[in-house]
Amino acid sequence: MIWGLTTSTFTAVHVALSFVGIVSGLVVLFGLIFGRRLGGWTALFLITTAATSVTGFGFPFDHLLPSHKVGIASLLLLAVAIVALYARRLVGAWRRTYAICAVLALYLNVFVLIVQLYQKVPALKAIAPTQKEPPFAITQLAVLALFSFLTVLAAVRFRPEPAIPF
């Protein structure tokens, strides 16, 4: 039992949060590139991505794992993105800071997805059983290159419509 749930139920919740975080994050990413704020999608992305990282700490462990370090990095990026968006209202450098942090948090979620796919999908596990083989490295490098480009593009092109004052 993890947090009152069976291990399989907890895992399913964690995976579902991750999936929703990635899908909503992709919507938010394209919104950034096209200058749209997409408030509801953004809130869904930030909440589910943070929940993915938090629930990752719920699995049993006896020492700090690389996945925990990724989770910590993601939570730090999300915290800065949340401050930039909601507290600083994207004013000045906070606009670019938000775009960069949001896209990097999405990248980390996709990075972990790729790790999990290479661990769980038999065909991928067969070509990279230890995740030190070229197919795994090439995949991660290609995704890193793509997200590097998309991060720069989002940071440059995100010009949200003016906020409506409360």
Whether the model clears a pTM of 0.85, i.e. scores above it, the answer is: yes
Question: What's the alpha-carbon Rg for the chain, to the nearest Å?
Answer: 17
Instruction: Find tokens 């930030």 and name the residue.
Output: 46
140-162: average pLDDT: 93
- Tell me the C-alpha distance between 98 and 89, whole Å: 10
Residue 76's pLDDT band (cuts 50, 70, 90): very high
pLDDT at 159: 87
Name the one residue in this structure whose structure tokens are 């590097």: 148
> Tens of pLDDT along 12-47?
999 999 999 999 999 999 999 999 989 999 999 999
Task: Tell me what pLDDT residue 95 has.
Answer: 96
Closest CA to 112 of 28, 14, 32: 14
In 57-92, which ranges are continuous DSSP H helix?
Answer: 66-82
70: left (phi over 0), alpha (psi -120 to 50) or beta: alpha
Q: What is the pLDDT of residues 78-131, one digit of tens each?
A: 999 999 999 999 999 999 999 999 999 999 999 999 999 999 999 999 999 999
Kindly tell me if the per-residue pLDDT of 2 is higher than 90: no
The 8 Å CB, 24+ separation contacts for 23-30 are: 24/48, 25/49, 25/102, 25/105, 25/106, 25/109, 26/106, 28/102, 28/106, 29/102, 29/103, 29/106, 29/150, 29/154
**Cα 37 from Cα 112, distance rounded (Å):** 26
**Residue in 43, 25, 50 with CA at minimum distance from that of residue 103:** 25
- What is the average pLDDT across 143-163? 90
Is 161's pLDDT higher than 90?
A: no
Domain ranges for the chain, please list them. Answer: 7-157
Beta strands in 91-135 (DSSP E): none
Q: Hunting for tokens 């090439």 — which residue is that?
A: 138
